[in-house]
Structure 1
């Protein structure tokens, strides 16, 4: 049960594997298309796959060969634009333990991507969704270096993961992403170097799926959208291989939220439908309430007010009839759907700011001090709704409350919500200018 020698640590390596190219082949196509001197071709290409950034002419040459627009090369840093090449992420490979380990290893550098849009398009995301239908340090070190991985080690990883959930609630995804990445590297090392029996392998894959789900969430919260896609793709594979259907459904719901934020409500609805169908009607009602709550905002994104309201009634009905003992551990944060931020934002989008303010204020009142990011997001949403109602004074007061909390949260998503609010303020209003100045003065 040791390591897999056919793992790819860089998108260019995987692209070469997919196209059957050697290092010399890449050097030749770059020379042919750019005229660059590739005399030390093998060493140069090897360095590109180990972190060196190729000159722009070399990148343009590779892009031309694989059909990528030059504007994409300029927009995305190396090697992120390689992920836009069809086939460089193994979206359509078999759903096996081997491929799950490959995708896990392949996304361990994903946190370096800071692009603010997803690379998995709606159609590909839908196909991916369908395909998914306290331990001594010495013991961990031993397991990570070829020793036996037992339940003590897996219990420790599980405990670590749950601690990260609650830390994220308090401080946000920007801070927690590096911690999740470190734990992912440990789990990958255990999977590739450790010795274990099949039940332990299944549990490790399930834990990897949960960590990948969490890392994707942190990437999404910190504005690294392409990285989130890569984590979630790997998370779908590892959770499916580990037999964890609910975590897979959670990943699809987060992908749906990401598409809603990007303005693609229809793709979000499709992803949520797949998640709901896969877990079945007998699954936790709290999970169904979560899926419905996020579906409300997806309906709002495409202007479907009637469907949004009907879905909210269904979500609150699930919540009212839930049995907490049936819930997976990760849904501890869920509250009454009508009081969630996503539902409130949905009603803001539908132009029902009166409803949005009432629901969001109830939701903020329900939250304790351990959910600072949610408080910022909720207050920013209330401020936006009050501005829609023409109440500039209340909107600025609410936004100031959110901004006062912002220094304690490392969440690009929360900061972006406040910046978006500030961008809507009237230019000639002194109080609006004062708020913008205050917001800009806060630590980045």
Structure 2
């Protein structure tokens, strides 16, 4: 897979998936720092036309112009030929995905740099989802998952395990976005797939994370007893958990324990989670899907655990510290500020 360059950016890929030509031009120029004149020369149009498109005053409709833009901006293969966006997205998994997975571990090889690029692009999607939501990226990530699974029949050994884990990461991201859009059935179906692929890949961390996400969904839908059971499963995933994965599993168990009234147990688990998270402040030492678990997030999670057991004073202190240092995540910041204000009113 070729280096996607500016097309690794989640915002640019989201603009392409939604057919937002104004956003495509703006995001491409932002990522590459080319001028409107330079971009015009790349796609075969005068600067004035680029300006009109970028400002939403001219539409892009002709197939010939779309083809010129696609070639000129070197749109990656997995983004070409995407189905048109509609309000009826294909939320459920395609059975063909598991058919491809079943053919993995055959002979063959793949340059590991391709897997590295796939992982890098998915990381950009995660960051974009934090800021702009995931619906516009849904069809892009589905297409990218297709690309990952198409590689599997031709690889074996450690490379196959790497791609299986990448497929599981994609599936759990799709589950998360589907849940946010109220698609609960498809969301659980994607989690089931992610869990199977994680186990196939021998990834205790991903298997634990999937159980933690299911615990979160279950708690959010009002079943704390089952949520606690699932959180306990996330702590006991087969294999050894890294400190970051263990921290998240302990946090899930802490929140569920609070919900069933086990306040002392919840406090112990919250402290355990916080201390584990502080062991891995460097992103390179955490699984890719836990890129966000820095000391700031660890403090915020500690605050939310205190909030769950109604320790309002501790919650205010921890949430205030975290919110002050949380930047670049507007949706999350708004959530924590609301919780902070509520805790203050309950003092």
User: TM-score range with shorter-chain normalisation?
Assistant: 0.5 to 0.7
In structure 2, which of residues 76, 98, 103 is the aligned counterpart of residue 101 of structure 1?
98
Q: Tell me the equivalent position of 2:138.
A: 177
- CA pair 198-287 structure 1, distance change in 2 beyond 3 A: closer
Shift of 1:211: 0.8
Contact 1:344 1:381 in 2 (8 A): no
Trace 1:265-280 onto structure 2 (pairs within 5 A): 265-278=224-237
- CA pair 225-360 structure 1, distance change in 2 beyond 3 A: farther
Q: Tell me the equivalent position of 2:176.
A: 217
What is the CA deviation profile of residues 337-372 of structure 1, one whole-angstrom value per residue up to 9, with x for unaligned ones?
76225x44444343333332222221111212x222
Trace 1:5-20 onto structure 2 (pairs within 5 A): none
Contact 2:270 2:305 in 1 (8 A): no
- CA pair 359-223 structure 1, distance change in 2 beyond 3 A: farther
Contact 1:104 1:235 in 2 (8 A): no
Q: Tell me the equivalent position of 1:361.
A: 320
- CA pair 203-289 structure 1, distance change in 2 beyond 3 A: closer
In structure 2, which of residues 187, 191, 194 is the aligned counterpart of residue 235 of structure 1?
194
Trace 1:245-394 onto structure 2 (pairs within 5 A): 245-278=204-237, 283-322=241-280, 324=282, 326-336=285-295, 339-341=299-301, 343-368=302-327, 370-389=328-347
Trace 1:60-209 onto structure 2 (pairs within 5 A): 101-102=98-99, 150-191=111-152, 195-209=154-168
Query: Match of 2:241, SS?
Result: coil
- CA pair 220-183 structure 1, distance change in 2 beyond 3 A: same
Contact 1:171 1:372 in 2 (8 A): no
Name the stretch that deviates more: 168-177 or 205-214. 168-177
Contact 2:250 2:273 in 1 (8 A): yes
Contact 2:161 2:201 in 1 (8 A): yes
Gaps of 5+ in 2: 1-87, 103-107
Q: Distance in 2 between matches of 1:176 and 1:214?
A: 11
Between the two structures, name the one with larger relative contact order (CA 8 Å, sep ≥ 6): 1
Contact 1:216 1:231 in 2 (8 A): yes
Whichever of the two has the greater Rg, that structure is: 1
What is the CA deviation profile of residues 270-326 of structure 1, one whole-angstrom value per residue up to 9, with x for unaligned ones?
22222222255x532222222222222111211221111111222223234447464
Query: Match of 1:361, SS?
Result: helix
- CA pair 196-315 structure 1, distance change in 2 beyond 3 A: closer
- CA pair 172-234 structure 1, distance change in 2 beyond 3 A: same
Q: Tell me the equivalent position of 2:16.
A: none
- CA pair 215-103 structure 1, distance change in 2 beyond 3 A: farther
Q: Distance in 2 between matches of 1:168 and 1:259?
A: 22
TM-score when normalising by structure 1: 0.50
Contact 1:284 1:323 in 2 (8 A): no
Shift of 1:217: 1.9
Shift of 1:150: 4.0
Shift of 1:232: 0.8
Shift of 1:230: 0.9
Gaps of 5+ in 1: 1-76, 84-88, 90-97, 106-146, 390-444
Q: Distance in 1 between matches of 2:199 and 2:97?
A: 9
TM-score when normalising by structure 2: 0.62
Shift of 1:233: 0.4
Q: Tell me the equivalent position of 2:18.
A: none
